[in-house]
Amino acid sequence: MKDRAIAILRSLIFVSFSLILCAVVFQFAGYNAPQMLTAVVDGAFLRPGAVEQSLRWALPLFITAVGVGISFRAGFFNIGAQGQFYVGAIAAAFAAEALRGGPAFIVIPLIFLAGMTGGALWALWPGLLKLRSGTDEVITTLMGNFLAGLLLVYVTSGPLKDPSGSGQQASSRPLDAAYRISNSLGLSPTIIGIAIVVGILMWLLVNRTSFGVLASLAGRNGTMVRWQGAKLWQLGLSSFVISGALAGLAGTIEFMGPNGRIASGFLPTHGFTAILIALVANLSVVGTAAAAIFFGGLASAALYLPIMAGLPAAAIDIINAAIALFITARSNLVEKFLRLGRRSS
Amino acid sequence: MNDVIIAILRSGTPLVYVTLAGVIAQRAGVWNLGLEGLMIIGACATILGIMLTQSYAAAIVIAIAMCVIASVLSWFVIEKLKANPIIAGLGLTGLGIGGTALAVESIFGSQATVTAPFGAPKLGAAFGAYGVLSIFVAAMPFVVFALWLLLKRSRFGLQLSASGEHPFAARGVGIQPVRMRLIALSIGGILCAIGGAELATGSLQFFAQGMTAGRGFMAFAAVIFGAAHPIGATAAALFFAIAGALGIRAQLMFGDKVPHDLLQALPYLATVFGVWLSGKLGGAKTAGSFGELKDQ
């Protein structure tokens, strides 16, 4: 319990520290920092409609981040959430194209299935390479992100190209209104329901099943788990597939909900933000929900900052980057400060 | 033929400099995913430096100073605060991309492209058709050779590799891995500044938001594909540049009929293949636990 409290305190300190650091930098860059901070809070939660807007960003991020957390727990540094998110959305778009005209109650589940399968497959090959040949997953999943980005460019300017598109940004044909799961504001009971179901299932998986316990143990000490007779291979591959499927699910939601189509290079920082959320949450599912709401709020504030504080939306990217820079710090200094005098080994 | 080689050298040179920065960091045991951020800081600082001082040499000094400061910051975060190098590197990249956009916006009040009055010094008429290339292109082979000497033929290089691979053993013989990494990352900062300067002023003379467009990550791929050997990684970077130039050429000649996206994917596919192969052959230097430094 005390450890958990320390972990939460630690994340809070790092996030606030990054925010203050950014505020100081912005002040020196000639912006009004207090005005910026109030604009962030306003844009994220206080302004009318802000909570809905923040949730719109938070829910898909939550789903991807929970998946990232699962693979990190199992000891696999899968940084390919962005690629899995893209391939999920691409697979969903292909399914929607193929099933055009069918009854919604059949087509919608099939599109979801396709999206999750796409994301899972895009995580499967780095998983297989890792577990069969020891190929480092950091590199394969990072390369997978770029490959998926190129694949997205290819399908949106090739097979799925919208002929009536403006040419500014290649995009797919819009999804039939009958299959959309939300309007373009991006919040609907369906999406909230999916996020809640995912949250509960993953919480149960992590905390109440032998898989979750073994995977967490394997992440800390693989050899020990192998000696206890668990199949490390299956554990590892499952965690890759689950994290990929969840990123694919988030991609499908973005496609069927707020966006209604896929476009080349859409939501380019989704995966990175999801990794940050998982790390800020210290990989706990409940913490991921809280962190997702915070980062969803930042994403929503990004659209509001230029109007309110005269700051470019890049300011939010800088805040995210600053959090990334510091969030994994685990220096003795930090630990000592957090434990308030208690000796740490 | 000349114009193809010129195109390859133009796109390849920034990549080579940044790749060399990645090589020296990798040898010191740091997986540097901040290359993209350092490169864009270098590009932006060069253009702003030219506009501020009207002197190219001063602009390069400013760019190098900015990149070294950013490198030292990342060294502090991963070495002193013991943050994960990969996540911190991605953070540095985010800071570079966002920070340069913010700098341009705060100075010029808009996010438009910033054009400098002049670019890098060119080789001049004595080099015939190649005279349009910048001095950094001509310097590149010498820099590669110098880095090869430094890393593979000097005491420093050996100490650096020892710090990266066996930090405890290195410390046992009186090497300070912490300081070696500071030196490695600082040299990397200088190289990234030159890479960024060449990108922004070699054949162009402007800075645009996000103009590195993933080149830093491609350089990281070249480091891995080239097994962190200065010559191998340079060859990988040039190979990626050739693939890119051929892709553009194929698109110009045949239009959209050829899948040029596939050629663009080649560097990434090659890297995955290279890592897989080196893992198979047993020579892989894998990140082990999340790319952490080995003495933490």
Least CB-CB distance to B286: which of A136, A322, A333?
A136
How close is the nearest chain A Cα to the Cα of B116, in Å? 21
Contact: B224, A327; criterion CB under 8 Å? no
How many inter-chain contacts (A to B, CB under 8 Å) are there? Answer: 145
Contacts of B101 in chain A (CB under 8 A): 312, 314, 317
Which residue, of A281, A314, A331, is where some domain finishes?
A: A281
Contact: B102, A29; criterion CB under 8 Å? yes
Tokens coding A224: 């020990």
Contact: A326, B83; criterion CB under 8 Å? yes
Question: pLDDT tens string for chain B (296 positions)?
Answer: 788 899 899 999 999 999 999 999 999 999 999 999 999 999 999 999 999 999 999 999 999 999 999 999 999 999 988 888 999 999 999 999 999 998 888 888 777 788 988 888 888 888 888 888 999 999 999 999 999 999 999 999 999 999 988 888 888 888 999 999 999 999 999 999 999 999 999 988 999 988 998 899 999 999 988 889 999 999 999 998 988 888 777 777 776 666 667 778 888 888 888 888 877 765 444 444 566 676 66
Least CB-CB distance to A324: which of B94, B106, B217?
B94
Contact indicator for A67, A215 with CB cutoff of 8 Å: no
Find residues 250-269 of chain B whose CB sits inside 8 Å of chain A: 256, 259, 261, 264-265, 268-269
CA distances from A45 to A193, A280, A293, A294 (A): 21, 20, 10, 10
Q: Which residues contact A136 (CB under 8 A, 6 or more apart)?
A: A130, B275, B279, B284, B286, B287
Contact: B286, A30; criterion CB under 8 Å? no
Verify that A12 and A93 share a domain, yes or no: no
Asked whether residue B288 is assigned to any structural domain, the reply reads no
What CATH number should be reported for the domain holding residue B217? 1.10.3470
Contact indicator for A236, A127 with CB cutoff of 8 Å: yes
Asked whether residue A289 is assigned to any structural domain, the reply reads no
Contacts of A329 in chain B (CB under 8 A): 77, 81-83
Which residue, of A248, A281, A314, is where some domain finishes?
A: A281
Asked whether residue A206 is assigned to any structural domain, the reply reads yes
DSSP conformation class of B153: S
Residue of B183, B18, B22, B34 whose CA lies nearest to B96:
B34
Least CB-CB distance to B279: which of A75, A134, A326?
A134
Verify that A135 and A75 share a domain, yes or no: yes
Does B98 contact chain A (CB < 8 Å)?
yes
Contact indicator for B102, A312 with CB cutoff of 8 Å: yes
Q: Residue A75: left if φ>0, alpha if ψ -120 to 50, beta else—which one? A: left
Verify that A268 and A317 share a domain, yes or no: no
Contact: A312, B102; criterion CB under 8 Å? yes
Least CB-CB distance to B106: which of A30, A153, A329?
A30
Contact indicator for A65, A278 with CB cutoff of 8 Å: yes
As a three-state string, the secondary structure of A36-57 is: HHHHHHHHHHHCCCHHHHHHHH
Owning domain of residue B94: 2-116+133-280
Split into its structural domains, chain B has a count of 1
Asked whether residue A295 is assigned to any structural domain, the reply reads no
Residue of A121, A219, A331 whose CA lies nearest to B290:
A219
- What ipTM describes this predicted complex? 0.89
Asked whether residue A242 is assigned to any structural domain, the reply reads yes
Verify that A164 and A119 share a domain, yes or no: yes
Does B103 contact chain A (CB < 8 Å)?
yes
Contact: B275, A150; criterion CB under 8 Å? no
Contacts of B77 in chain A (CB under 8 A): 325-326, 329
Split into its structural domains, chain A has a count of 2
Contact: B280, A133; criterion CB under 8 Å? yes
Verify that A224 and A250 share a domain, yes or no: yes
Verify that A19 and A84 share a domain, yes or no: no
Asked whether residue B257 is assigned to any structural domain, the reply reads yes
Contacts of B266 in chain A (CB under 8 A): none
Verify that A36 and A69 share a domain, yes or no: no
How close is the nearest chain A Cα to the Cα of B291, in Å? 8
Verify that A86 and A166 share a domain, yes or no: yes
Contact: B261, A146; criterion CB under 8 Å? no
Asked whether residue A143 is assigned to any structural domain, the reply reads yes
Asked whether residue B265 is assigned to any structural domain, the reply reads yes
How close is the nearest chain A Cα to the Cα of B130, in Å? 32
Q: Give this prediction's pTM.
A: 0.91
Contacts of B265 in chain A (CB under 8 A): 146-147, 150
Count of other CB atoms within 10 angstroms of residue B59: 25
Verify that A83 and A231 share a domain, yes or no: yes
Asked whether residue A298 is assigned to any structural domain, the reply reads no
Distance between CA atoms of B134 and B136, rounded to whole angstroms?
A: 5
CA A291 to chain centre: 11
Verify that A78 and A12 share a domain, yes or no: no
Verify that A238 and A94 share a domain, yes or no: yes
Verify that A141 and A27 share a domain, yes or no: no
Asked whether residue A57 is assigned to any structural domain, the reply reads no
CA within 13 Å, CB half, B231: 5
Residue of B280, B258, B276, B257 whose CA lies nearest to B268:
B276
Owning domain of residue A231: 63-281
Of all residues in chain A, the one with the smallest CA distance to B290 is: A77
Asked whether residue B123 is assigned to any structural domain, the reply reads no
Contact: A328, B268; criterion CB under 8 Å? no
Question: pLDDT tens string for chain A (345 positions)?
Answer: 677 888 888 888 889 989 888 888 888 878 888 888 888 888 888 888 889 999 999 999 999 999 999 999 988 889 999 999 999 999 999 999 999 888 999 999 999 999 999 999 999 999 999 888 888 888 899 999 999 999 999 899 888 888 776 666 788 888 888 899 988 888 999 999 999 999 999 999 999 998 888 888 877 777 777 777 667 788 889 999 999 999 999 999 999 999 999 998 899 999 999 999 999 998 999 999 999 999 999 999 988 888 877 777 788 889 999 999 988 887 666 666 555 544 433
Q: Which residues contact B216 (CB under 8 A, 6 or more apart)?
A: B18, B34, B35, B36, B37, B38, B39, B40, B93, B192
Contacts of A281 in chain B (CB under 8 A): none
Contact: A138, B264; criterion CB under 8 Å? no
Of all residues in chain A, the one with the smallest CA distance to B81 is: A331
Q: Output the pLDDT for position A344.
A: 39
Q: Output the pLDDT for position A106.
A: 94
